[in-house]
Every structure is written in C-alpha cells, then in structure tokens.
Amino acid sequence: MNEKPNKRAAALAGLTEEPIELGDTENASYPEETHFRHWRWHFDDSEICWLLLDKQDSSTNTLSEEVMVELRDVLTEIEEYAPQALILRSSKKNGFIAGADIDDFDGVDSSTEIVESIEAGLSVFDSLENFSVPTVSMIHGFCLGGGLELALSCHYRVARDDAAFGYPEVLLGLHPGLGGTWRTLRHMPAAEAMTMMLTGRTMSAKKARRAGLVDAVVPERHMRAAALRLISVKPDNKNPGKLAKFQTLGPVRSVLAGQMKKKTAQKVRPEHYPAPFALIDLWKKHGNDHEAMRLEESKSFGRLIAGETAQNLVRVFHLRERLKERAKETQHNVSHVHVVGAGTMGGDIAAWCAANGFLVTLEDRSSKLIGPAIGRATELFKRKLKDESKIRSAHDRLIPDTEGYGLSKADLIIEAVPEDLDIKRSVYEHVESRIKDGAMLATNTSSIQLERLSALLKAPERFVGLHFFNPVARMPLVEVVTHGALDPNERNRAMAFALAIDKLPLPVRSAPGFLVNRALTPYLLEALACYDEGIAPEVIDAAAQAFGMPMGPIELADQIGLDVCLHVARVLSMESDLAFPDVPAWFTEKVAQGEIGKKAGRGLYEYKDGKPQKKKAKTGDIPADLADRLILPLLNSTIACLRENVVEDPDTADAGIIFGTGFAPFHGGPLHYCRTRGVDNVIQSLRRLRGKHGPRFTPDKGWPLMSTF
C-alpha cells in the first residue's frame, strides 16, 4: 500500500469536512489481490479504511448469506493492513441496509439449520464489534432489521438527518435474530427498545439520537467530520443511564412484560402471531443477562422462522413485491391528476394523490361540496407528512376546481361520482369535451362492469378502472380493472401510477364485483344471515377474529358503509351467478333511515368517538361451525373468480384478498389456506353446510382448478 500524506490531525480537529459522495471511490487505494462482489474498500489520506456495501444485481442492500460471508472475509483482510479506523457505509443512494435477504427464509423447516446460520452471522458481527480499531457505521436512509443489527455491532453510529431505524421482523412473524434484542438494550431503555421491536415502527434519526441508538445526527456534508470526531474522542456510548438500568431489574421486567403482553394481546393473538409474545418472554427471562439473551434469541428465532406463521408471512411479503414489480414495467407519465367528485372516496383519493407528490385538481359542483374533502385532506397531511413545510406543499398541490379547468391539463382524470349509470354518462360527456390528447380516464366504480361504462365513451382504449378501497389512506390495494377495448399500455400506465401513489396495483378483469367485492360480499351477507337468526354481532365478529381476521364482518360492514354493502349486494345479485342469502328487510330499512355505519355514528353497532360499542363475546358462546360458515363462502367465491379468469392465478387472488379485505395474513391467503387445510376438506365442509343451511354453500365448479396450479 502506498504511503499517503497524513492529514489525520487536521481531520480530527474538524478542519476537513469534504463530503463523501455515495458510490464515489475516486483516488481509492485497493490491494490488487482483493476481489469481492458486494463489498469495496479503500484507504483515505488519514489511513482510515472506508468499507462500502454495494450489493450487486440489487437496487437495495440486504444481508444475504453471500454478503455476510464476504463481510467476514473482508474484515479479516482489512485488519491485516492495520488501518487507523474503519468507517462502514452503503453505496446505495436509497439507504443503508434494508435487513436480511427475505429469499433466504423461503422453505426453511429446520430450526437447527437456521440457528447454525444465525451463529455464523453473529460471529461476523462479533468480529466487527471486536475490531482492533474504532469502527463507525455511517447511515443514511433506511437502516432496518439486520442492517440495524450490523450498525449496532460497530463502536459508533453517525446518522444523516433523513435516516430511519427499525426492526420490521415482527411483520414477518419474527423478532430480531442477529443480536438485535440484546445489542439494542445496551443503548436504549427497555420499554422504548421493546416498543420498537414489538410494533415494527421506524424511528427517526433525531429520536434515535435522543434514545441513545446513534451518536450523532448531521447533514450529509458533516458526516465525515462527525465520524472522525467519534474516532478521536471515543466516547462511552454503552451506558444507557439510570432508567435503562432500573428497567433491567427482575421485578420491574416482570411488571413491564405483563403490560406489554396485555397491550399486544389487544391487537393480535399468540396462537396466530407468536413472535411478539416470544420476544416479551425472552426479555422477561433474560433481560439482565446479555449472554443468556444472545443464546436464547437464536433459539427463539429458529423456532419462529421454521413455523407456519413466519413462512406464510414471508409468502405474503413476496406477494406484495410481485405486485410492485409488475407495475415497474412502464412509465406512468402522470404529473397532474384531476378528480371528478369530491365525496368521501373522490376527496380522499385526491388528497392521497396530493400527499404523494402529484398536482391535483378536485372538481365538484360547488365549493360547499369540496370543503369537507379539503378538511379531511388537512388531517391526512398532518398524519402522513408531519413536517409543516411538507404539509403546506401538499395543500398547495390540492386545488379546488368547481369549473373543471383542470380537465384540459390533466394527464389522468379519475371519476368518483355515485354508482349511477346516468350520472356517469353525464360526467363522461363533460370529460370528453375537454380531455387532452393522450390523457387517461379512470373510474373508481366498485361494482359496475367496465364494458357498460366504456360503451359510453369515444375513446374506450384509454379508459381503465382504478378501484380504491375505503378508507383510502389505510387500504393498500387498488384494483386495476381491464376490459376488452383497453389498450394494454394504458393498463400498464395505470398500474405504474398506482404504485407511484404508494398503492399495490392488482390487475383484474371486469366482472361483477371484480375480485375483492365479489369475494367479500358472500362473507358479509352470511354474517347478516347469522345476525338475522339471533346470533349476537359480537359473537359473529369474535368467530371471524378467532379464525384470524383483523376485524369481524359486522364491524367491517359498518366500516365500509351499509349503504355501499347494500348497493354491491344488489348489483351482484342481478349480474352474477353468486348464491347468497337474501338481504334482510330490516337491513334495507336501516339503510333507508340513514343508519349506515361508522360514518353515520350508528349502523349494526352504535359508535362513540369512532369506536363500536361492543359487549365482550365469550369463547363458549361461539357455535362450532360459525367460522366455517363465514369464511368458506369467501373461499368459494374466490375460486369462482379464478374459474372466470377475473384474476390470472391463485397467487394474484391471494394477494388481492389479503390486501383488499385484510384476510388473515398469517394464513398466507385464502387459496393457500385451502391447500394447507386440504381442498377435499374444504369441499366436504361446504357440502355439510349446504345440507344444514341451503344451496348457497354448494362448492363452486372451479375447485378442481386447484390441482392444476
């Protein structure tokens, strides 16, 4: 290695603050014999080694097995060159490290095998922690899961002011497994650290600094200087303070663990999602002994990852990524969105688009009709954007437009008016009189087949369905609905646009109810039939939640709106061959009286401060076949959609039902659940229910298709 001028003293004094450009290795000094695929390293003039992670064939850094093996070897090699210090950072502009490589989790069924793999990874992190000279991780963007565990293995951490830290493992049915539990507890009070791990929520750089997770938060231009100062001063950053020490005491841990379990149990059940409860037990038993916690963390992680919940949630992760990847094939070329209709759906769609960076004009007949939408937009911007300057910018992008001036300038027009063919015909005449060449027209219809709507248009080839779900800000899915006259490129543009506004685009063929409403309606109507028979609504909801649904069908109907449910049921009864129970007369009367659910303060439940007033259902009150009675019609109608080519394959159907209805993710999707349970078992159960409750439980003709996929 060539000798370089020693500028260490000046750098440590803060006199040299040149930014290190991401991916910039100009004037780097590499040993000729070093050849790594994912890691690059060089020495600067201060004899400090810069180690850069740039995972090949990937836009994002993740810690695959190959990346970890290379890190072990590169650390050994670097140490032979006796650097003054080691600074580690990512060469990817989008962030530091997103975590472990999810592909490594697929099909793992041996906890012993995974524990051995974890031990190998821990030994790599140990070698980083025990490196002979100071080590600093320099973090920008996301630093998640295994990336945070790697950062905590360094002696110090410098975060750029846009960095975000977190442990999303719980979303995959896991908890941190590469030392994250005990290494995090070295730096943060247990209550705060456990909350981060139990919820999967990210922590901003500033909050991480206050918590003790990072040592400095600075803009990019000061990151080098901050790292050099830490190397020089070598502060003691492993003393989390009196509160953290107090929370390690056995009796205190016992009390806090009990509170954590109670709070967690309000959201998920241990039999469905064991990971958070395993993490709480791990900390309760070993929170004051990091060596014991290290050992037990690996064993617990191994048991979880080999379990059905984690494997199914990994499957759900892949389903999500598949929807995203398909939407990246085409540029959407949309900068200006015009929304016609400022009701609940139209106004919220407009606000969501503005929050995600698009110029939006929102049209309705009067300012009085648009005003409530702007009010809801303000609340959305505060929740989503938080920063005052970003909130102001979003408001600037959302423009009330009673005269429809935006129509002639917009690249995409979204129609969100009532589900009435005559109203839509009038709107389309208005739109087509002003729409510019090349602009796309989309409808948010939830039930009308697009063939009927496209017949009203002069340019049906640029007409597509963009079916959002209520509430827009919370539901991740958008059904991209196609029809025979649609230009395939316009379909792809619509998919790309949905992804650009942070939604999951699901391609579906125009059919009564499309996919989600087609599958969901029999589930909701069966719940109403049970209610009509005198089964308490709390019991009906409890049966569905015991199966794993995040919300029972009675509360879900109130959430959607009983008026919407009634409309969709009527459309499906007229336009599809679905057999489901008749809508009770009392239900129709309730809608006529305006008792339409949560938005009205009263529906199947009464609401106080936005929460349903429920009695607690006892397990013994739930009839043995009630869960099947609710869930199997949903499965049966999903099979019907597959048979009718509404969706192209079972994976697409599973993704749509999970992200569009909230179907219990730990089951891996409705059709995956059928495979796990056994298709023959599902068919026989439907036949038993048919014998007891009538022909609506007749197995669909499409069930044999399951053997072909």
Residue 464 has pLDDT above 80, yes or no: yes
Give the CATH number, domain containing residue 46.
3.90.226.10
Q: Who wins on pLDDT, 361 or 387?
A: 361
Are residues 203 and 105 located together in one domain of the fold? Answer: yes
Query: Among residues of the chain, what percentage have pLDDT more than 90?
Result: 82
199-216 b/e with 16+ CB inside 10 Å = b? bbebbbbebbbebbbbbb
What 3-state class would DSSP assign to 40? strand
User: Which element (helix H / strand E) includes 370?
Assistant: helix 367-385
Whole-number average pLDDT of the chain: 91
338 in a structural domain: yes
Are residues 295 and 384 located together in one domain of the fold? Answer: no
Give the CATH number, domain containing residue 625.
1.10.1040.50
149 carries an active-site annotation = yes
Range of the domain at 483: 333-509
Are residues 449 and 532 located together in one domain of the fold? Answer: no
Residue 503 has pLDDT above 50, yes or no: yes
Are residues 602 and 500 located together in one domain of the fold? Answer: no
669 in a structural domain: no
Q: Count Cα atoms within 13 angstroms, Cβ side, for 439.
A: 22
47 carries an active-site annotation = no
Are residues 498 and 526 located together in one domain of the fold? Answer: no
Residue 32 has pLDDT above 50, yes or no: no
Q: What are phi and psi of 196, to 5 degrees?
A: -65, -40
Inter-residue contact 518 to 670 (CB < 8 Å): no
Query: Among residues of the chain, what percentage have pLDDT more than 70?
Result: 94
267 in a structural domain: yes
pLDDT per residue as tens digits for the range 66-82: 999 999 999 999 999 99
Per annotation, catalytic residue among 47, 169, 538, 595: 169
The pLDDT score that the predictor gives to residue 34 is: 57
3 in a structural domain: no
Are residues 436 and 565 located together in one domain of the fold? Answer: no
Residue 7 has pLDDT above 70, yes or no: no
- Select from 509, 544, 576 the last residue of a domain: 509
653 in a structural domain: no
The pLDDT score that the predictor gives to residue 169 is: 96
Are residues 592 and 683 located together in one domain of the fold? Answer: yes
146 in a structural domain: yes
d(CA 510, CA 446): 11
The pLDDT score that the predictor gives to residue 246 is: 84
Kindly state the average pLDDT of the residues 111-122: 86
Task: Return the bridge partners of 217, or none.
Answer: 159
Inter-residue contact 338 to 361 (CB < 8 Å): yes
Per annotation, catalytic residue among 32, 79, 116, 149: 149
Are residues 520 and 483 located together in one domain of the fold? Answer: no
326 in a structural domain: no
Q: What are the structure tokens assigned to 82, written together?
A: 């006796």
The pLDDT score that the predictor gives to residue 135 is: 97
Task: Tally the domains of the chain.
Answer: 3
Residue 9 has pLDDT above 50, yes or no: no
Residue 19 has pLDDT above 60, yes or no: no
Question: Residue 424: how many CB atoms within 10 A of its CB?
Answer: 21
Taking Cα atoms as reference points, which of 444, 453, 401 lies closest to residue 426? Answer: 453
- Select from 305, 321, 345 the last residue of a domain: 305
d(CA 669, CA 659): 10
Using a 10 angstrom Cβ sphere, with 0-12 exposed, 13-18 middle and 19 or more buried, the burial of residue 319 is buried
The alpha carbons of the chain give a radius of gyration, in whole angstroms, of 28
322 in a structural domain: no
The pLDDT score that the predictor gives to residue 114 is: 84
Q: Who wins on pLDDT, 538 or 560?
A: 538
The pLDDT score that the predictor gives to residue 573 is: 83
pLDDT per residue as tens digits for the range 174-229: 999 999 999 999 888 899 999 999 999 999 999 999 999 999 999 999 999 999 99
Ranking 28-37, 258-267, 609-618 by mean pLDDT, the lowest is: 28-37
Are residues 134 and 192 located together in one domain of the fold? Answer: yes
- In angstroms, the Cα distances linking 350 to 482, 501, 706 are 22, 11, 40
Inter-residue contact 549 to 662 (CB < 8 Å): yes
Ranking 158-162, 538-542, 545-549, 705-709 by mean pLDDT, the lowest is: 705-709
pLDDT per residue as tens digits for the range 248-307: 888 999 999 999 999 999 999 999 999 999 999 999 999 989 899 999 999 999 999 999
Are residues 241 and 351 located together in one domain of the fold? Answer: no
d(CA 670, CA 685): 15
pLDDT per residue as tens digits for the range 402-424: 999 999 999 999 999 998 999 99
Are residues 499 and 364 located together in one domain of the fold? Answer: yes
Are residues 494 and 530 located together in one domain of the fold? Answer: no
